[in-house]
Structure 1
Amino acid sequence: MDTACMYCAQDQRLTDIMIEVCTLESSTLYLFKEQTYKGRCVIAYNKAHIQEIFELSKEERATFIDDVARAAKAISVAFGAGKMNYGAYGDKMPHLHFHLVPKNENAPKWGSTFDMMPDEKNYLTEAEYSEVIEAIKVHL
């Protein structure tokens, strides 16, 4: 693990922007606090500090992608997504992670790439975050 990495260190850099939902077989699912896209999460590989998906063995990759698919389905069902967007960038945070972003017609950025940090941000109350997390967990 790399202590300079917020996903490895699991420190305030992470908790300032995300809330842990649960751990899966090879990853941890986090709810992104900025909720313009209701249910938006990040899923991060948690077995080692890996930067690229090709660094995983075939078996590790299959397990991680299974976690991604399981989480994406839960989010999609929980929030009635018209389409799930998957973002795997990591330019500034080089740790294997995917943004899982439910999108709907007549909602922000339909038909386009989601905004990483929209100009008009949508933050929830603690109770609302709990409701969103529980809605996801019901479908995992």
Structure 2
Amino acid sequence: MIEAAKLKVSTLYLNKDQTHQGRCIVAFDRHVTEIFQLDDKELHLFIEDISQTARILHEAFHPDKINYGIYGDLVSHLHVHIVPKYEQSDEWGEAFVNAPPSKKMLDPLEYQEIIMSIQAKLNP
């Protein structure tokens, strides 16, 4: 993951595997393992961070749908995968594959361009 931005109560990371163009992770800043461990204010702000990220990805990449995944079996820190989905993809209509057998890695400049696009939409 590459840190892209600090949000209200979380940090936005760009996933290095861009098999799903625009895929990001929003990680809650305070260490908790479950969403129910957040107080009402934290929960509200975390959902705002997730929603803002999804809106930005929608504007930047024009996906047909955005999928959200909260796991934590292997990484015991609250985080949400925000995964743009496209009708022409092999996975359309199914849950996204978290660790596809073939990953799409970009060159450093391409990652930086995506991050700059996200940051510009965060701070217009």
Decide: shared fold, TM above 0.5: yes
SS at match of 1:78: helix
* Alignment correspondent of 1:54: 36
Percent of matched pairs sharing the same residue: 45
* Alignment correspondent of 1:81: 63
SS at match of 2:63: coil
SS at match of 1:137: helix
Within 5 Å, give how 1:104-115 maps onto structure 2.
104-115=86-97
| 1:43 maps to which of 26, 42, 47 | 26
Q: Distance in 1 between matches of 2:121 and 2:96?
A: 23
| 1:71 maps to which of 53, 58, 61 | 53
| 2:14 maps to which of 31, 44, 54 | 31
Cα shift at 1:131: 1.2
Corresponding position: 1:100 with 2:110: no
TM-score by length of 1: 0.84
Corresponding position: 1:137 with 2:119: yes
SS at match of 2:97: coil
* Alignment correspondent of 1:20: 3
Q: How many residues align?
A: 122
* AA of the residue aligned to 1:20: E
Q: Distance in 1 between matches of 2:111 and 2:27?
A: 19
Structure 1 gaps of 5+ residues are 1-17
Cα shift at 1:94: 1.2
Q: Distance in 2 between matches of 1:117 and 1:134?
A: 25
